[in-house]
Each structure stands twice: as structure tokens, then as C-alpha cells.
Amino acid sequence: MSGRSIRVVRAGALTTVQDTGRPGYAHLGVPRSGALDPGAHALANRLVGNEPGAAVLETTLNGCAVRADTPTTAAVTGAPCRVTLNGRPVAWSGPVAVPAGGVLSLGPAEYGVRSYLAFAGGLAVDPVLGSRSTDLLSGLGPEPLTDGATLPLGPARPVRPVSAPTLPWQAPPAELVLPLLPGPREDWFTDGALRTLATGTYRVSAASNRIGLRTEGPALERAREEELPSEGMTLGSVQVPPDGCPVVFLADHPTTGGYPVIGVVPQEALDPTAQAVPGTPLRFVLRRRRAAPGRN
């Protein structure tokens, strides 16, 4: 051990270690997990000179505070918040030099939900199946942070300066608009259900978490009432439980499920869901499947 580490002063409501997750194990029942806002995660790492996939902290709504045991460089991205070092304001979305014993504190999210805190060298907790991510559904990876916990840091690389204008950041939208490709089980719903989904206004429910973005709004009516045998679920699947309110599956979603999926939100359109606060209006926009092959 190099002795490089950070100590948790204030864990916050829910702060977890996240990297790019553990895809490739869904057939064993392992969720992919990983940072909910991949852009903010990669940017935080870039600002401190890490590989884009290094492990960082993901906060939820009310930030966190940590003490660095050794001098390090840190950066906060994602949901904007007041960042202080030993009580003095420092940059959000820029590298911050933290001296040994320095306490870096992230205040509540001013808007959005999740801030990302990266340290040079990355968090070096033991990986599980190639990832250091906390998986809240199945309990793989490190426990969510608790006050007083210590997390090791990896060896830092020299930081290359990043100029501010090259760092675009998209603020969380006032309204979440999610494209939706119908299927695989749209025929388990009435014709009216797809119309309701495409024209109704939903709101992001306070019950949302890393497993799924839950919604409140007009219920979707099933055309088939029998039980659906468990089938594979993918990131962005819009599953409809018996209450009729669609749930958009996020990183920690179960790998199989027994409620029908009316449509799928393409992965590249999911990033804003990470920053949608409860109550955010949400619309689904039906998209017909592209005919041409060859995208990735």
C-alpha cells in the first residue's frame, strides 16, 4: 500500500464508488452498474489526469465531505454544488490541489442530483468482476460510504492542463424528453397505452434510484393479463409493473424481469436521467426504428 487514501468526514445521503461498471455478466444475474452520468464521470477523471474509466465518488442530492490523507488533486463534476476546501470556496468542474489533511466538501446539488468527485490516481478499492462500482441491487462492490470510512487511492499520473472552454456541460433539462423505441412487448398493451405513453406528461417519482427512474402519470393499460415468464432486461428498458406507471431501467437494473417492456430508451439518450430531480416533467417521444444498418 502506498498509504495514499481519503477518509470520509460526511458520507451524505447516498455516496457510492462508481466506474464504468461490470458489463458482460448479465447471464450470471449480475447488473452492469457504473456511473449513472457517464459524461460527468469521464470529465471528472480527465480533470485530474486519470484514465476515463477510473473509480470516483457519486453523490446523491446532498454531497459529501472527505479528508485527504496525502496531497492529491481532486475535481467535482455532474450536479453543480458549492465546493469548499477547508471551508474556502474552490472550483467546481476544475482541478483542485488538496493538501495533506485538507477537507474537501461538496454541498447540496444546486440543480441536478448526482455530483462526481474524482481524485488523481482514482479510488483503488478491490475490484469485483473487473469493476469497483457499488451495485445497489445485488450488493456487489464496496458498501455505500459511511462516516469515518477510509478509501485507498491509486498512483497518480501527471495532470495535463485542461482548458475550460473545451469542457462543455449540459445543465439538467427543466423537462426530461426520452426517445422510445417500441417493443419488445408493446403488444401486451392496448393501442391506447402506447398513445398515452407518447402523449401523456409524466413526472419523475421520488422513488427513483440507481435501479430505475420511476414515474408518476397516466397508467398504461395491459391488453394481456397473464403472467410473463421472466425474460432478459436491458439498460433503458421501460418496464410496466401492475400499477401501470412506466419504470426506466438504469445501471443497477435486474438482469431479468417478469413485467412486460413496452419500449426501450436508447442508451445514448439516458444520461440526463441521472440528473432529473423528483417532480421533473417527463415525456416519452416515440421513435420508429431506423431502417439502415451499421450504427453502433
Q: Does 28 bind other proteins (CB under 8 A)?
A: yes
CA-based nearest residue to 43, from 91, 82, 77? 77
**Residue 230 CB, nearest distance to other proteins (Å)?**
5
| 261 vs 245: CA distance, rounded Å | 12
Q: Does 86 bind other proteins (CB under 8 A)?
A: no
Nearer to other proteins, 155 or 224 (CB): 224
Q: Specify the DSSP class assigned to residue 259.
A: S
CA-based nearest residue to 129, from 31, 9, 224, 200? 31
| 5 vs 78: CA distance, rounded Å | 23
Nearer to other proteins, 8 or 140 (CB): 140
Q: Does 294 bind other proteins (CB under 8 A)?
A: yes
Q: Strand 64-68 to strand 5-10: parallel, antiparallel, or no bridges (unpaired)?
A: antiparallel
Q: Specify the DSSP class assigned to residue 121.
A: T
Q: Which residue has the cell 498512483?
A: 155
**Residue 94 CB, nearest distance to other proteins (Å)?**
35
**Residue 181 CB, nearest distance to other proteins (Å)?**
5
Q: Does residue 42 sit in helix, strand or coil?
A: helix
Cα 185 to chain centroid distance, Å, stands at 26
Exposed (0-12), middle (13-18) or buried (19+): which is 217, by Cβ within 10 Å?
buried
Q: Does 39 bind other proteins (CB under 8 A)?
A: no
Nearer to other proteins, 9 or 228 (CB): 228
Tell which one of 9, 128, 211, 277 touches other proteins (CB under 8 A): 128
Nearer to other proteins, 140 or 247 (CB): 140
| Residue 127 CB partners (closer than 8 Å, separation 6+) | none
Dihedral of alpha carbons 62, 153, 35, 126, sign = negative
Q: Does 138 bind other proteins (CB under 8 A)?
A: yes
Q: Does 166 bind other proteins (CB under 8 A)?
A: no
Dihedral of alpha carbons 50, 54, 58, 63, sign = negative
Stretch that binds other proteins, among 28-36, 95-103, 155-163, 213-221 (CB under 8 A): 28-36
Laid out side by side, the sheet with 96-98 consists of 16-18, 56-58, 115-119, 72-78, 96-98
What mask, x for binding other proteins by CB under 8 A, covers residues 204 to 243?
-------------------------xxxxxx-xx------
Q: Does 88 bind other proteins (CB under 8 A)?
A: no
**Residue 288 CB, nearest distance to other proteins (Å)?**
11
Tell which one of 52, 89, 183, 279 touches other proteins (CB under 8 A): 183
Q: Which residue has the cell 465518488?
A: 57
**Residue 287 CB, nearest distance to other proteins (Å)?**
9
Stretch that binds other proteins, among 33-41, 51-59, 157-165, 180-188 (CB under 8 A): 180-188
Q: Does 295 bind other proteins (CB under 8 A)?
A: yes
Binding region for other proteins (CB under 8 A) = 23-30, 128-129, 138-140, 181-185, 229-234, 236-237, 254-256, 261, 264-267, 289-291, 293-296
